[in-house]
Amino acid sequence: MNNNRTGYKKGDPTSVADLLTKVYTKQQWKKQWRLFRLVREWPAIVGREVGRLTMPAFFRQDTLWIYVQDSAWMHHLQFIKLDLLDRINRTLDDQPITDIRWQLQPRLPSLPDHTAPAPHAVDPGNERNFQQMTQCIANQECREALQRLWRHFAAHSD
C-alpha cells in the first residue's frame, strides 16, 4: 500500500535526503533561506551606507519589502531603486524579484525598566547546612562553585 505523503510503500526504507527535500518544500523554507542570504550579505549588496539604514524584511510574491529607518531615506531609495533591484537580483540569481517596496522599520516596544532586587543577607545557619551537604563533593573547585551558586540564589530569592 502506497503512503500518499511520501510516495513510498509502508515499510520501505526512505532516503533522508528525499524526506528533507519534501519537508523543506512543504514548509516553504526556500523563501526564508533567500531572505537569510540577503540579510547576511546586505551591506555588500547595497553598500555600507544603505546597508546601515535598511534591512530586507520579507518577500510577498516576487516583491522584496525592505525596512528603512526614516521616510527621507525611503524617498532617496526610490531614485536608486532600479540599481538596487539589479544588485539584489545578482545575488538571487535563482529566483529574481520583480519589485522592491519600502516600509518604515517598526519600533521595538520599550521594555519596562526592570531592575533586579538588591541581594539580601543569607541565613548563616542555612549556609552552614548547605556547606555540610556539599562536603561529599570530591572536586574542591566544583564544590566551591556549587556553594557560590547556592549563595547567589539564596541572596536573590524572596
Q: What are the sequence ranges of the domains in the chain?
A: 18-104, 124-156
The answer as to CATH 3.40.50.10470 being correct for domain 18-104 is: no
Pairwise CA distance, residues 99 & 102, whole Å? 10
Pairwise CA distance, residues 112 & 123, whole Å? 32
Q: How confident is the model at residue 25 (pLDDT cuts 50, 70, 90)?
A: low
Only one residue has cell 547576511, namely 40
Beta carbons within 10 angstroms of residue 57's beta carbon:
19
Q: How confident is the model at residue 1 (pLDDT cuts 50, 70, 90)?
A: very low
pLDDT digits (tens, 9 = 90+) for 62-86: 999 999 999 999 999 999 999 999 9
Q: What's this model's pTM, rounded to 2 decimal places?
A: 0.54
Pick from 143, 150, 156: nearest CA to 127: 150
